[in-house]
Structure 1
Amino acid sequence: MLDTGNFVLYNSHSEIIWQSFDAPTDTLLPSQKLRQFEEPKELFSSVSKDYHSTGKFRILMQEDGYLAQYPADSPNSVKYGYWDFGIYIAENNLTLNLDDNGQLYLLNTSGNMKNLYDGGNVSDKLMYRMTLDVDGIFKVYSYGLNRSDDDWKVEWSPNSVDKCDPKGVCCQNQYCTLMNQEAVCTCPPGYVLIDESQKDSGCNRNYVRNGNVSPHFYQLDNVVWFNDSYSILSNTSRTACEDECLKDDDCEVVLHKDDQCMKQRLPLKFGRLQNDPVITLVKVGGREFKKEKQFKVLIASVALEQATNGFAEELGKGATGTVFKGLISNGKRVVAVKRLETVVAEGEREFRNEMKVIGRTHHKNLEKLLGYCNDGTNRLLVYEFMSNGSLADVLFKSETKPRWEERVRIAVNVARGILYLHEECETQIIHCDRKPQNILLDERHCAKIADFRLSKLMNLNQTRTNTGVRGTRGYVAPEWHMNLPVTVKVDVFSFGILLLEIICYRRSLDPDLSNEL
């Protein structure tokens, strides 16, 4: 352990084989650098002050010459960023540096420097660190052995950032308000916290749609959400905007500003209260939600056959059916259509189970069911299209393997989906068939759990269940084979196998590989 705080491992020739300065987590120490073109490029915040797993935010030394901050699982895009600082020179190996007197600055190889913080008094003999805190704001801290309070003190933080600025400080369907300069996460009318013990856990609807009750709108003034509108109507009054949303089963919220009507689906993201003349209208109540109502054109199997051009383009084939590429909404939206092809009795059971399970879920790391067809012996499921295929394709078939950072992000996405099914969903769900083939990747390589045909719904207050063996060889937990009651831990076991495959780029069971490493 060096005096700088760098933990270094040497080989027998006194050559460095690993050092902690090359693998930072949330903190930069004096003489440590955050680099532009080589690792390390970014820091991640912790989950909490006491739990130092990867949290919600990251700070990145970008190749365009900007030091920028984003939510941890978002792409490096301006619309996701919430703070940046640059020297406008992208070609000269820019680095973020912290020196012994606390000066924080950007520097390139030509000697061009740009200060973020000028540092403290050298005579104070303080120790310094820069940390990306749990709240998404990075700060320079100092520590002095002669101080009476014996604690780290904040010396500097960007004064242009308040605690509601970090996108993602509040989770889905929440918005952030500042109270005494602290971030407070609030649910919109008609919504309640997912977890009462965690005020930033996100919100879900606290009502069931009733066909005998007309839907109505609650108004929120000056609440701004991430612009993720799927439909924008111009020259539309507020009344006309409400009418358009009432006619659209996909529409849960509309934003009305400058005679523009912006329709949005759930979940709402990155909400905050600020001085902006926008009206948010939250739809509450109304007819009972049914998946087949979402796309009326998909009710008939004939229309679905047209949508897939006669089931022409096959995307994949599994034990119970084949998935085809299709187009709906007048050819504007690409979808995946799954046609169940097992025997009638088995197909009916699998079909109803998938409807029952997915109808209770809504999470960014679960594949979204858009509609279905139940027409005689025809069993068709319509899903969002996942343009980057399955995790199995990426790990075992692609010539270009994902980098470590991307594999970690995929694993975290899957873990979040599992957490939702096990702890945050209205009814606890055991997936029962966690494997790379059932993890799909969208256009941003966000991983989503798919294929709920073998899933098991748990009754309220039920922690374990007895059922026949479910799953795929190589991923099935031991208790299945021992005829023991199973719990959500069977999914955790499968996830462990999945993690090993992600790390090693090899299948858990592969008869073509030698046992030798």
Structure 2
Amino acid sequence: MAPPLLLHLSRLILLLSLAAVAPAHLVPVQYLYPPFNLTYFHFIDTNGVFLLSPGANFSAAVYNAGATEASDSQSRFFFSVLHSASRTPVWTATAADSTILESVVLSLSATGLSLFDPSTAQPDPAWSTPRLRDPVATLRLLDTGELALIDAHNATLWSSFDRPTDTLLHAQPLRLGVPLMSSASANDLSPGAYRLVLTPNDALLQWATSSSPPSSAAFLTYWALSSDPAAVQDSSHAVASMAVNASGIYLLADNGRDTVYRLLFPSPPASKGDSRVLKVDPSGRLRALTLTAGAAVPTVWAAPANDCDLPLPCPSLSLCTPGSNGSTCMCPDAFSTYSSGGCAPADGAALPAIPGSCDAGAKKAARYSYVGLGAGIGYLPTKFALPDTSGDALPACRDLCSGNCSCLGFFYRNSSRSCFLLHNQMGSVFRASAGADADAGFIKTLPSQHGKGSSSSSLSLITIVFGIVLPTVAAVLISFLLYAMGAQWLRKRRPQHRLKKTSGSSWFKLPAMLSSSRAASSAPSASGDDLDEDVLIPGLPTRFTYGELDAATDGFKWQIGCGGFGSVFRGELPDRSTVAVKRMNGGLGGTQGRREFLTEIAVIGNVHHVNLVKLRGFCAEGARQLLVYEYMNRGSLDQTVFRAGAAAPEWPARLRVCVGAARGLAYLHAGCDRKILHCDVKPENILLDDRGGVKIADFGLAKLMSPEQSGLFTTMRGTRGYLAPEWLMNAPITDKADVYSFGMVLLEIMRGRKNSKKQQEEEEHTSGGSSASSASSSEYFPALALELHEQGRYGELVDPRLEGRADVAQVARVVRVALCCLHEDAALRPAMGVVSAMLDGSMDAGEPRAELLRYLRMYGRGLVDLRPAGWMDQGKAKGSDSTAGVSSSWSPASCVSAQQLSGPR
């Protein structure tokens, strides 16, 4: 072994020889040719730039990221690609130890790029490009920010675009299996704890809850692009790549053209030369930044928007509370503050020291205690993660955590009986919003040590065994024997109707009343007693009792609406939140009917979108079936647009309603796990609030309707003016029936009047006035819209109450979209995702085909009747008006079939 002095001398000679390979002060160039070595001596007195793109937009440099801490005077240098004007790193050679200190050399050779330390005996580089198929001829940086190794035939051997770090540039695709990894901090560009990753269905932000290398770390999802309020789904294709441009973020199919999801930024770039990039910052937030010619890099969009939706906005176990001036951090009630800023149990109990270290004693469940986090406190796993188990009671969830020594605690959701175990590292917690599923959180603790002797410990053990354990075991055995005897007696008295428990499902216990026919056929000993049926229903929302809803609505006193499905009442829950309670007409009797009701409620309750009314809970007690929705305080769209004497909404507000409703329907058709057809799209089912919210209501309810109620669906709901032609021809019903109805709604929003000729005449007769239209009051408005579209007279189609205060170009776009939705051939109507894109301007509006709209003119002239077959005859047979108390020849059963046939996507 060489003496230490000789070893240090040899290292110094090697560094000096490497420094002599290139000039002491580098002049940035557009091409670098191997062999080339860059050392500390080249950038110690310069800005480190050694390579420029042709337009000087980007530069390759040895970047000084600064010291990681105030007490650390040692600066960190990294091999990075920078945006030249702002000196913002957009790519970095990251590895386990990619920091460039005084002895590290950046080497370009015929085999590729590498970082190595000649002062160590380690022959392997700290970072290098992979093995290449041909020798490297040159290193080049393009104006797109792409760093590329080129061979002698000008073909790319390696590209930084294929190995992004924390930033996605304009025109740079992000593909499946290639994540964006955040940096550890602003001064440490090595890989951090957060990443953006693509799946075939979505783009997800994830947090590494363990300190393992990224390839083997456990990641927790805390944000999904599809769940963002601004996201719109355009197709059901599998996601293959992601791209960002000046207007927004796009998830693309494998052909690179079809958009699966798109998320548009709130504002366009201020300058034509500016470009937008995506960056995962060290806090875990995904930001859209504008790279400008100036030094500042403004953020134009960020997700999650709320600090408390990040994994660690506060120290571990701290309660994050959002506020207008930022979030605040405090410990939950049962916890006290650590000196380091974290939270610990207030009773002095200790948290498990090293998660995942399983010794023999740690595996004993009796060793652990649990501290509750308190009511209304949530945690990220319950937002996106699948439960570890479902269908079991809370003690089973606790025992599961106690038997797993790496488990730090658990959350239990009572409504679905779901259990979520917490592993590796605990983040901060947050206050759940009112109406969210109530989760109960518990943190595992170890008993505090007070230095008791072994004798007292033995005494405590004896006391526990003989004073608690043995009596408890005896009581359990006696209870089990009594239960077994009682169950055997009951089996002899009545038939069995109990279902087997299935793994992974939540349980809902139903008091199933015997039907009259069943009671008549049963033995006299059955006597009509209630039977308990265990029904397996996964994912149910909060269950309310009838008494709770009766009290919330003050005896169902405040009715705010009614329709074919039932009456709606305003109510107030104990948490002071206002809700809308829908009391369903009739009821689906029998266990099978209740099972179908609960199955559909589980589907509706798990549909979440900013433009869909949220189902907060339900009640199912015998024939009483009620749904609890969030309250929209401005009521339905028809009350705002059509009500006599009401102030007419301005055009921008109407356009926002059109776009919001289209996005809600698009999500129902293509964004859910199971396609949902609305089957009753009309202004009465579009609700508004005073914050500008637009939400679709009553989706999914058509499948809950019994055949006896189907006749009321048309007459009581007043939906005949929105029925697609396929309803009337008994043709298969698809999501394009909703598209047709939405086209009719678009025309009504624009005009401020009902489209139906008969409804217009009835309104004029009631008000004693005349139509505000420039055309005759008897004109069928969709036919008039088609005629004026062909003449290019779009301004005449707008609500005259606006007195010309409407953007004619936007009106023309809405008219063209509406007419495309009304094509007689359902296959030629656009999908709702396309309708949404055309309305918000991200896609050019289609051109309606006049030959597919001739039936509108014929109906306007009275040559055809768009009402269901048999409508008039049935009305006359009853000796009443043709629109009252009749049943139509169509039935929502075809809508149900369409949902069933669509299946899971």
**TM-score of the aligned structures, taking structure 2 as reference length:** 0.30
Larger Rg: 2
Q: Which structure exhibits the higher relative contact order, with contacts defined as CA atoms closer than 8 Å and separated by 6 or more residues?
A: 1
Larger strand percent: 1
**TM-score of the aligned structures, taking structure 1 as reference length:** 0.49
